[in-house]
Amino acid sequence: MVTAHNLGFPRIGTKRELKFGLELFWKGQSTEHALTKLGADLRQRHWQRQSDLDFVPVGDFSFYDQVLDMSFTLGNIPLRVGNLSGTELDSYFRLARGRSAGDTVGNGVTAGEMTKWFDTNYHYIVPEFTATTEFSLNPARLLDQLDEARQQGINAKPVIIGPLTYLWLGKSKDGSNRLDLLTRLLPVYVELLNKLADQGVEWVQIDEPILVAELNADWRRAFNLAYHQLNSGNVKLLLATYFGQLQENLQLACKLPVSGIHLDGINARAEVNQLIDWLASYKVLSLGVINGRNIWKADLNATLDWLFPIHAKLQDRLWLAPSCSLLHVPVDLEREETLDVEIKSWLAFARQKLGELTVLTQALNEGRDAVADELAANASALQSRRESICVNNPMVKAAVANITAEFGERHSRYVARAEQQASRLKLPRYPTTTIGSFPQTTEIRQARLRFRTGELDATHYVTLMRTEIERAVREQEALGLDVLVHGEAERNDMVEYFGEQLEGYAFSRFGWVQSYGSRCVKPPILFGDISRPKAMTVEWIKYAQSLTDKPMKGMLTGPVTLLNWSFVRDDQPRSTTCYQLALAVRDEVLDLERAGVNIIQIDEAALREGLPLRKSQWQAYLNWAVESFRITANGVNDGTQIHTHMCYSEFNDIIESIADMDADVITIETSRSDMELLDVFNNFKYPNAIGPGVYDIHSPNIPSKEQVVQLMRKAAQRIPAQRLWVNPDCGLKTRDWEEVIPALSNMVKAAKILRQAG
Ligand code: GLN
Ligand code: ZN
């Protein structure tokens, strides 16, 4: 019999219950008891949904982030948080989100650094290490949840992050080698596994996704050391890898003394045969055969053609699962009543993916006939997708074929452009600006909702949005910012907004995926060839510009970000889809310029996260990604200033490509890393202007003007002052006006201090 299991289930709930529960709690409008109860309810519901499986993951639920949970399980809590009073949950959220000095429980606390989980749009809180970090086991969360699951009759498989991946994901704060901590860390893992064994747990899923990354000899050796020590014999370990191929780590992984391996059968399908050859006959192979990273239906018939011979070989040793945790896909397609029925028939969300898994398992166990209807329905859905006229537009294909090198070239080099732009824009030194969005108030959200449901007609909607734009402009003028934005009130989301106006996109209503903490995104579904029927932003920006004499930035989302933050069709190369997007946004850039907009920002927040996990594949991606940006941006005149924005980016290895994009100004995330990020721009002698973020908008903390001055002085040690801008880390849509005004006011005051200081 084939064993079916799952690696992780989305935790937010079909209606984003977790988000709303967390936010109430953070605002002080609910109790810890209520939040705890919500967590238990969600877990129960999710376990029930998975109860058809032979093993159900436990420990995948989290109130904020599974890496942060692991830090608490391992007792690795930075002193600045651990020393404060309050409950464990207080400490947990302090580390996740930071706390301002006005906090009643303690003094101001800097939030833990946050970064992207491998090549996904999920963010984790980076574990912090020093040479003296000690670990101590705190197993309560996992044991309680295990208990909870069992009381509900669930066959639980606890899920933990493995010791090497845990260390790898963290950051040493004092330059010490975090791998040196392994000997101190392993006993805590052993203790945890023993505790689970004492509870009668049979299998533990231990996630080591770094096995798909390039590991040096020390890390590879550490794997051997660690797993020999963890091999206590009391509990069976399923070593889970996902998101890519194991390549040179394949043999290492096969030889580790664990009871089974999970391989991403979507991305690493080519390695399956080799793995089977190398896998000892007592070990289980779990194959991730349903794509946990996209929303397309699997080709069940083709998958079975592939799996039958594998099953014949492995028999009971074959397990089936999604390729990775389903954290990265929306919860349930069932609720999508307004989605085009044809398109809907091509899709599968988490629940449906588990359904597909059940069909595959049943076919292998009982023969295809047992699921003949399901297989036939699947085949006809796939055929409809292949042949649909909504997917294929010959004009778009021709336009991409006609792209030439000139599309991506500015007329002059940066220095000449900068001069023209300076005389046109007349900005002071240390110009201040924001990244685009202003707080999305309840009124704004309601107006958009009422417009969407038809309760509000277009004229009234436009009037309401114009009122919001005017408010944003007046506030910015009062604050004394130099380059203004319209505030993006009309945008629900920086990708969906554009997707809605482009042909080739479809939208779910409830297809939310967790991005970080309570923040969720609803990636649009890019299913067909992309075209732009008409201008998308020009009217709003023109209106905003008409309200002020200060320069107004036009705000666009770049092609690479549109691509990376969408669920993208899998029937053509991503590069082809990206060029299609680039041509559409290029037309918008040119329309803005024609409308008299002198500064245009093209956000590429997601450029870095599209990097393949392995460096050997980076250049190919960067080539088409940077070219797509250039095609979008570089059709303008020299006097038009192009900005780009990237959040949470580490630029070390891609600085050359960033420079190649040739944006006149780049604004980046830096405040959480204390300007360290700028070293790379300095070392590379990055030639264009930079706005290092000085206000961490992901935390409710309000920076003082002294803090901003200090950060900018650090920046000026690295980048000449005449090429520095002053701005927040990212857009302000998730904050309240009450936070934004004092923060920006301090930022503007700081810029004045810097200018006076010369
Ligand atoms: N312009 C966008 C905003 O301000 C950028 C958001 C982002 O980079 N994530 O909201
Ligand atoms: Zn950003």
pLDDT digits (tens, 9 = 90+) for 189-209: 999 999 999 999 999 999 999
Atom of ligand 1 nearest to the CA of 601: 1
Per the listing, tokens 């085949």 go with: 379
pTM: 0.90
By residue count, the chain amounts to 758
Query: 665-668 and 689-692 as β-strands: parallel, antiparallel, unpaired?
Result: parallel
Greatest C-alpha distance within the chain: 80
pLDDT bracket for residue 61 (50, 70, 90): very high
CA–centroid distance, residue 292 to ligand 2 (Å): 26
Query: 56-58 and 203-207 as β-strands: parallel, antiparallel, unpaired?
Result: unpaired
In order of 166, 225, 252, the CA distances from 247 in angstroms are 21, 20, 10
pLDDT in tens, 332-370: 999 999 999 999 999 999 999 999 999 999 999 999 999
CA–centroid distance, residue 55 to ligand 2 (Å): 39
Nearest ligand, CA 602: 1
Give the pLDDT confidence score for residue 698 in this predicted structure: 85
pLDDT bracket for residue 625 (50, 70, 90): very high
Nearest ligand, CA 439: 1
Q: Is 698 a catalytic residue?
A: yes
Shortest-distance Cα residue to atom 5 of ligand 1: 731
Q: Is 238 exposed, middle or buried (0-12, 13-18, 19+ CB in 10 A)?
A: buried
For the segment 162-175, the average pLDDT, to the nearest whole number, is 97
The answer for residues whose C-beta is within 8 angstroms of residue 85's C-beta and 6 or more apart is 105, 106
pLDDT bracket for residue 434 (50, 70, 90): very high
pLDDT bracket for residue 46 (50, 70, 90): very high
CA–centroid distance, residue 96 to ligand 1 (Å): 21
For the segment 373-383, the average pLDDT, to the nearest whole number, is 98
With a pLDDT cut of 70, the percent of the chain lying above it is 99
The angle subtended at Cα 629 by Cα 623 and Cα 632, nearest 5°, is: 135
Give the pLDDT confidence score for residue 674 in this predicted structure: 75
pLDDT in tens, 106-144: 457 889 999 889 989 899 999 999 999 999 999 999 999
Give the pLDDT confidence score for residue 649 in this predicted structure: 59
CA–centroid distance, residue 494 to ligand 1 (Å): 7
pLDDT bracket for residue 757 (50, 70, 90): confident
Nearest ligand, CA 494: 1
pLDDT bracket for residue 628 (50, 70, 90): very high
Shortest-distance Cα residue to atom 9 of ligand 1: 605
pLDDT bracket for residue 86 (50, 70, 90): confident
pLDDT in tens, 508-547: 999 999 999 999 999 999 999 999 999 999 999 999 999 9
Q: How far apart are CA 333 and CA 196, in angstroms?
A: 35
CA–centroid distance, residue 699 to ligand 2 (Å): 14
| Residue 525 parent element (H or E) | strand 525-531
CA–centroid distance, residue 730 to ligand 2 (Å): 4
Mutation probe of ligand 1 site: the residue of 438, 488, 732 with most atoms within 8 A of C-beta:
488
Q: How far apart are CA 25 and CA 677, in angstroms?
A: 33
Q: Which long-range contacts (CB under 8 A, 24 or more apart) does 444-450 make?
A: 444/468, 444/489, 448/490, 448/492
pLDDT bracket for residue 103 (50, 70, 90): low
Average pLDDT score over the chain: 95
Atom of ligand 1 nearest to the CA of 733: 10
Q: How far apart are CA 650 and CA 719, in angstroms?
A: 17
Give the pLDDT confidence score for residue 670 in this predicted structure: 84
Tell which residue, 669, 671, 651, has the closest CA to residue 661. 651
The answer for residues whose C-beta is within 8 angstroms of residue 293's C-beta and 6 or more apart is 120, 243, 266, 323, 324, 328, 329
In order of 200, 238, 457, the CA distances from 45 in angstroms are 24, 25, 39
Tell which residue, 650, 653, 580, 647, has the closest CA to residue 617. 653
Cα dihedral 21, 26, 30, 34 sign: positive
Mutation probe of ligand 1 site: the residue of 494, 562, 665 with most atoms within 8 A of C-beta:
494
pLDDT bracket for residue 278 (50, 70, 90): very high
Mutation probe of ligand 1 site: the residue of 488, 495, 600, 645 with most atoms within 8 A of C-beta:
645
Shortest-distance Cα residue to atom 3 of ligand 1: 731
Shortest-distance Cα residue to atom 1 of ligand 1: 436
Atom of ligand 1 nearest to the CA of 646: 8
Atom of ligand 1 nearest to the CA of 435: 4
SS3 83: coil
Give the pLDDT confidence score for residue 673 in this predicted structure: 74
For the segment 86-107, the average pLDDT, to the nearest whole number, is 77
Nearest ligand, CA 564: 1
- Cβ atoms 473, 548 nearer than 8 A: yes
**Segment of 83-97, 224-238, 356-370, 642-656 carrying the highest mean pLDDT:** 356-370
pLDDT bracket for residue 42 (50, 70, 90): very high
The answer for residues whose C-beta is within 8 angstroms of residue 740's C-beta and 6 or more apart is 438, 439, 732
CA–centroid distance, residue 437 to ligand 1 (Å): 6
DSSP state of 547: T
Give the pLDDT confidence score for residue 671 in this predicted structure: 74
In order of 160, 190, 202, 214, the CA distances from 163 in angstroms are 9, 11, 20, 17
Residues with Cβ–ion distance below 5 A, ligand 2:
605, 647, 730
Mutation probe of ligand 1 site: the residue of 114, 123, 433, 435 with most atoms within 8 A of C-beta:
435
Shortest-distance Cα residue to atom 6 of ligand 1: 731
Give the pLDDT confidence score for residue 107 in this predicted structure: 57
Ligand 1 environment, Cβ below 6 A:
435-437, 488, 494, 555, 603, 605, 645, 647, 730-731, 733
Q: How far apart are CA 505 and CA 529, in angstroms?
A: 9
Q: How far apart are CA 638 and CA 418, in angstroms?
A: 8
pLDDT bracket for residue 648 (50, 70, 90): low
The answer for residues whose C-beta is within 8 angstroms of residue 663's C-beta and 6 or more apart is 602, 629, 633, 642, 643, 644, 688
Structure tokens at 61: 């639920």
Q: How far apart are CA 115 and CA 706, in angstroms?
A: 26
CA–centroid distance, residue 734 to ligand 1 (Å): 10
